[in-house]
Amino acid sequence: MFDYSQYEKAPLIETKDFRAPKNGNLFFYNTLDKKKIRVGVWYPKNFKETLSARGTILLQQGHNEFIEKYFEVIQEFLNREFIIICFDWRGQGMSDRMIDNENKAYIKSFNLHDNDLNEIVSKIIEPYLPKPLIGIGHSMGGCLMLSGFYNHKDKFDFGILSAPMLGFKNEKFLKSVSSIMNILAKDTDYLIGSKPNMGVETPFEENDLTTDIFRYKRTQSLVRNHPTLRLWGVTNAFAKAINERFKIIRQKGWVEKISTKILVLNNTKDRVVDANKIRSTTTRLPNKKIITFSNTEHEIFMEKDEFRKEMWEKIDIFLK
């Protein structure tokens, strides 16, 4: 068993109506470049007595998300007898920020995220948690998880990508704005067009993440309890990091080298990422299954029960 006592214990945010699953351990992992990454590990019921599980799931959230938002999903995987490990990407959640302003989404390069994923896999998952290893990533986490499948072809047995951030509908405009900002502004400045919310909540009626008002407001309640879980907007550096990663993923033959068996969950009405770019990219994967939803928003894991029921049916078949 993994010795959690060697690490600093990390806090966890709960609300009266939304509690963390049982049998979990939250701690800070110190990276090689001395950044604190908040990590959570949960074990299925009776695991310590039987030491048996179907495998390990590395569950990674998207941009501006955090571990607590996925309590429900973690419990659902625990019910399916999987061990769950997840961590807040550096720069968000309760992991260390990269600049003094904790409200800005800032990262110099996605290579730093790659390094963190590699450390978690090599230092914690591989030595202490059972195979098979299933990598699951939503949105930005899906983009980074796809890179993880490429970088670690022998480590991940299965993958699930939920609305992976593989392109945006207004990319040409964003690239133009980013190019101008590279000349006129600092890396730490907010990107023009990113619409920083400055801590103000977006009403459910104006959100582009989910059609489920209950789960949307549940996330808002978590943020009210700990406002710095969320960021206010993206910086120029963050936009440049995304563009650089897109260039890599879109290189001829890059996607084709990924052998991991992957399930892709795509939403045709997605207003955050481009469903067409997701399909054109993931279609090139050698070993994939693409499931398309037509009535959901960006966050299928946070959607209405009727859509989640279909999602879980597809995931259960995939992971049999």
pLDDT by residue for the chain (320 residues), tens only, comes to 788 999 999 999 999 999 999 999 999 999 999 999 999 999 999 887 677 899 999 999 999 999 999 999 999 999 999 999 999 999 999 999 999 999 999 999 999 999 999 999 999 999 999 999 999 999 999 999 999 999 999 999 999 999 999 999 888 777 777 777 777 789 999 988 778 999 999 999 999 999 999 999 999 999 999 999 999 999 999 999 999 999 999 999 999 999 999 999 999 999 999 999 999 999 999 999 999 999 999 999 999 999 999 999 999 999 99
Strand segments, DSSP code E, in 88-199 are 104-105, 133-138, 158-162
Apex 313 CA angle, 43 and 284, nearest 5 = 95
pLDDT at 17: 95
- CA 236/CA 192 separation, integer angstroms: 8
**Structural domain that includes position 85:** 4-318
For residue 150, what are its two tokens? 């490429």
Number of domains composing the chain: 1
Using alpha carbons, list the distances in angstroms from residue 11 to 27, 93, 99, 280. 8, 11, 21, 40
pLDDT at 90: 98
- CA 69/CA 130 separation, integer angstroms: 25
- CA 304/CA 209 separation, integer angstroms: 12
CATH number of residue 164's parent domain: 3.40.50.1820
- For residue 217, the surrounding DSSP H or E stretch is helix 213-225
pLDDT at 169: 86
Q: By the 8 A CB rule, do 197 and 232 touch?
A: yes
Neighbouring residues of 111: CB distance < 8 A, sequence distance ≥ 6: none
Using alpha carbons, list the distances in angstroms from residue 38 to 19, 85, 93, 141, 229. 18, 11, 8, 15, 12
What 3-state DSSP class applies to 218?
helix
Output phi, psi for 261, to 5 deg.
-75, 120
For residue 83, what are its two tokens? 């061990």
Q: Which region holds residue 34: left if phi is over 0, alpha if psi is between -120 and 50, else beta?
A: left
pLDDT at 49: 64
